[in-house]
Amino acid sequence: MTWRIVLSPEAQAMLAAIRDRRVREQIRDRIDSLAVDPEQKGKALVGDLAGYRSIRGVGQRYRIIYRIEEERVVVLVVALGIRREGSKDDIYALARKVLRLRLLEPPAEYATSEAEESAEEATRSKA
């Protein structure tokens, strides 16, 4: 089964902020690899980030944090960046902060398609 990959606006901004084009392309390739068996890649996170998973992006430095939405067959990438353990700039610290601020939401077009699907389901159930 192939999963649809969706990047949150925050993840899109984080990817665009990476200056090295080669690193950006490698991270993009790694994100694209999540389209097949995302639940078997990376590791499940705990604590504030329970329900999310993390994979290494480029070497040991970069991490990609994502959530699997099985009912929609979607992998939602919510954050990516450099692992700096103990630093406030650490990707896990940034992801927790974004989660607290409730910014880990899907992009607007993703929410729109969700609303459209709900409307379609309601129409089908009336028929």
Number of structural domains (the chain) is: 1
Q: Judge whether 63 and 81 are in contact, CB under 8 Å.
A: yes
How far apart CA 66 and CA 11 sit, in angstroms, is 10
Reported pTM: 0.76
In this prediction, residue 109 carries a pLDDT of 47
In this prediction, residue 105 carries a pLDDT of 54
Q: What are the mean pLDDT values of the chain's consecutive 10-residue runs (127 residues total)?
A: 90 92 94 93 90 89 92 88 86 84 55 43 44
CATH number at residue 97: 3.30.2310.20
How far apart CA 54 and CA 44 sit, in angstroms, is 7
- Which of 54, 53, 57, 75 has its CA nearest to residue 3? 75
DSSP element (H, E) containing 66: strand 62-69
Residue range of the domain that includes 20 = 4-126
